[in-house]
Structure 1
Amino acid sequence: MARIALILFAAILYVSGVSQADARSWQSSWVTVINERHGFAIAYPDNIFTQKSDQPKTDEGGVYLSKDGKAKLLVGAFENADRQSLEDYRQFLISDQYATAKIDYAPVKARWFVLSGDRNGETFYQRVSFTCGGKLINSWAMLYPTSERKTYDRVVEAVARTYTPGAGRTGSCD
């Protein structure tokens, strides 16, 4: 059974254009970040990203850079002090942060949305979740050179599967 699974995995990698060595190189070592204050969790491949060393210590989130500094993983949560609605915050991001972007993926659900696309040679993927009845905004984003999209799109997909939006220290919106 394990042999069949390995053959199937190799076939999937072959079809997707990824060699087994490439897949193992970035998938082999992951770090999970669990934010104590806001309760969110996310994992990332630590042989691609490392925490920005000059980043001030904060319980709001973190900035992680690729070894070459061209890609960024931004993770955080903050209080929705202005009590913006999900749609208002989404429109703010579109008009402010991504005003010049070509957005090509933008699903919206009851408590979360994604904005993904390209802007000036950079690809972005941002997932925003409203938790605790809209009192807390959890977000993560990956920004990377569009020229390296084939590689980083796979990383985004893998990181997205690890993300859990937070609901405070105990999970009860405290």
Structure 2
Amino acid sequence: MPAHLLVAALALSTAAKPAPAAALPDGWETYTNVRYGFAICYPANLLGAQGEADNGDGQIFKAGDGAELRAFGTNNILNRSLAAEAVQQVRSHIGRYGKITYRISRPGWTVVSGTDGESQLFYAKTFAREGQFITFKLTYPKTAAQRYRSVVERLSRCFRLTEGRP
């Protein structure tokens, strides 16, 4: 096989694979999503990575106390506004009796948080970029709100768009 074809084949075979988690010195790791071009840090000692989805759109992280972090990208095929998309995404979490308790939007991103009306709190941050939404959602028990307060703050700060999307 000619060298240039071998290089191209190797590049294509590795382009869609998830990047390995990068360890940080304090027990946090960074998940990088190649397909949608984003990265998020997470407390690996609290939230265990479940493996990237087969289609490469994101990953779920689970804790023993029932908390769950979802980090993913979606295509904006319905041409929704960023604010409408964020509300639509969290509606599935608020249930019949839940409510949104905090909302902020800025150009290119939005945050929504609240309660499911029963036992769970949620926090979701969404970026809009080039016909896509990139989101992380953390749901956690109300009884663990104190523990997750600092986790939410750090997740929100470290969640970012990356360069080099395919």
Q: TM-score of the superposition, structure 2-length normalised?
A: 0.75
Identity %: 25
Kept in 2, the 8 Å contact 1:38–1:168? The answer is no
Residue 150 of structure 1 pairs with residue 146 of structure 2: yes
Match of 2:78 in 1: 82
Task: After TM superposition, give the deviation of residue 90 of structure 1 in Å.
Answer: 3.3
Kept in 1, the 8 Å contact 2:87–2:112? The answer is no
Match of 2:36 in 1: 38
Q: How does 1:25-174 map to 2 (within 5 A)?
A: 28-52=26-50, 56-66=53-63, 68-93=64-89, 95-98=91-94, 100-119=97-116, 120-132=118-130, 135-166=131-162, 169=165
CA distance in 1, matches of 2:29, 2:111: 23
Q: How many residues align?
A: 140
Root mean square deviation of aligned Cα: 2.1
Larger relative helix fraction = 1
Counterpart of 1:74, as a letter, is R
Unaligned runs of 5+ in 1: 1-26
Counterpart of 1:117, as a letter, is G
Secondary structure of the structure 2 residue equivalent to 1:153 = helix
Kept in 2, the 8 Å contact 1:138–1:166? The answer is no
Kept in 1, the 8 Å contact 2:94–2:114? The answer is no
Structure 1 pair 84–57 and aligned structure 2 pair: CA distance change class (3 A): same
CA distance in 2, matches of 1:168, 1:138: 15
Kept in 2, the 8 Å contact 1:63–1:72? The answer is yes
Larger relative strand fraction = 2
Query: Alpha-carbon deviations, 1:55-97, whole Å to 9, x = none?
Result: 743310000001x151101000011112112233234345554
Unaligned runs of 5+ in 2: 1-24
Q: TM-score of the superposition, structure 1-length normalised?
A: 0.72
Task: After TM superposition, give the deviation of residue 52 of structure 1 in Å.
Answer: 2.1
